[in-house]
Structure 1
Amino acid sequence: MQISQAKKLEVITKHGRKFSAKNGGGSPILEGIHYAADGSIVATDRHRMLRIKDAHNYTTPFTSHAVTGVPIDGVFPDTSRIIPDNLPTQITLITDYKRDDIKAAIARVKLAVEASKVAGDKSYITKLAYVDSSVTLSVNNEEQSVTLACNINADVSGPDETVSFNAEYMLSALNVFKDAGSQRVIIGLTGAMSPIVLRDEENGIDVVVLPYRTVK
């Protein structure tokens, strides 16, 4: 189901500041939400990014502070280069009258966040593995004897792949699509150290989460 431009602005208003850099982080331009010349809106803190296409009608690009709305001078980085064009491994979450994969995935990622908190892991390191047509989310902290493993219901295609990431970042990403009312979200993987792309193709919403390098 396609959503209106007003709904896209509602989503960016609610979630944009979560993806922008914190005040005093060393890069003032990234503390803002960027309204690009192509009609898209972008927010990023270099670790994750939210981009929504066809979300505004301004003809001149600008960046406004994510919290105060005050204009920010400077050149916003070209974020298009970090989004892979090809997503060979696709884990597709479907929401319809039969199933709600997005809601279920959010519940499981919340468990991963809580498990990481119990383990004292402030990086919330969580692993997503697609192996033999099965998708598994897991947390494994041997030092604190904390383990979690749960299946993710989804349609899958492409080669097996495993990637690690910050579970809080993934939770923020999934909540964007829940609030947008997305019915089909692709989690695209291109390699263990390549950006993870979550995409609602119908509504032009992309969220990118950078992976963690972990010791196997």
Structure 2
Amino acid sequence: MTVKPISNIEFVHDDLYGIALEAVKKFVSKSDTRPILTYVSHAANGDMIATDSHRLIRIRGIHGFKEDYLVNPKSFMFAKGNFPETEKLSGIENHQATIVLTKEQIKLWLQLFKSINQTMTVLKDRNKTVKLCFAEGKEESVNVELGNHGIKMSMPCIATYPGFEVVSFNVEYIRDALEAHFKLNSEQLTFYFHGNMRPIVLDDDANVRTLILPVRTY
């Protein structure tokens, strides 16, 4: 039997849509308190947005739906609803570009934060909060400190002093953001800060923007 190739198929989504839908699973809410946040917004302009109210991801021009849909990335159920407005939350107009990673450094940071997460699991650190420390005049690295465990790691990058010395965040959130940028082929990644208690925005200046909320430490 001869199988004829199918040549009249028109694909709806971008080639990376499957990878994108897999990546955003970590950004949706795990709680049913706000059911709409367990879905991924597919905006009519082609953007995909997911958030659990502590972190967010926006992938530009990744799908081909011509109207707004909500998609559950785990059950693949489709729905309609008013997804929260996130455009202002993830804006960078008042932020300062402080850290820049090359494609190779994105991969390195991802591997390092995976290791940091595993280390904190071994240490039974339930909060998994790390500190990112800046030093004025040092532009080739920043330091990551693991809470009160006395462990410090130098992270290669291009960095400028942001006007504050320390910002704290959940290690799993930054790991998942870096993983999304890595899997979606970000060529470069810029961290934008606006103080140490405002959202941290990671943007590749192309298709992918992620956001994580910092953690207040005392």
CA distance in 1, matches of 2:202, 2:176: 11
| 1:50-102 Cα distance to aligned partner (Å, 9 max, x none) | 1001112322101011211112342100011211323314201002xxxx211
Does the 8 A contact of 1:7 with 1:180 survive in 2?
Answer: no
- 1:21 maps to 29
What is the number of equivalent residue pairs in this alignment?
201
Match for residue 91 of structure 1?
Answer: 99
Aligned counterparts of 2:209 and 2:19: Cα–Cα separation in 1: 12
Equivalence for 1:181? 185
* Superposed CA RMSD: 1.7
Gaps of 5+ in 1: none
Q: Residue 78 of structure 2: SS of its match in structure 1?
A: coil
CA contact (8 A) 2:68 2:80 kept: no
Where 1:81 maps in the other structure, the secondary structure is coil
Partners in 1 of 2:84 and 2:132 — Cα distance?
29
* 1:53 partnered with 2:60: yes
Q: What TM-score do the two structures reach when normalised by structure 1?
A: 0.86
Superposed, 1:1-216 pairs within 5 Å as 6-22=14-30, 24-86=31-93, 87-95=95-103, 100-132=104-136, 133=138, 134-141=141-148, 146-157=149-160, 159-161=162-164, 162-202=166-206, 204-215=207-218
Q: Tell me how far 1:21 sits from its aligned partner.
A: 1.0
Structure 2 gap ranges (5+): 1-12
* Cα offsets for 1:161-207 (capped at 9, x unmatched): 421111011111101111112220111111111111111112x2001
TM-score, with length taken from structure 2 = 0.85
Query: What's the offset of the Cα at 1:19?
Result: 0.7
Q: Secondary structure at the match of 2:159?
A: strand
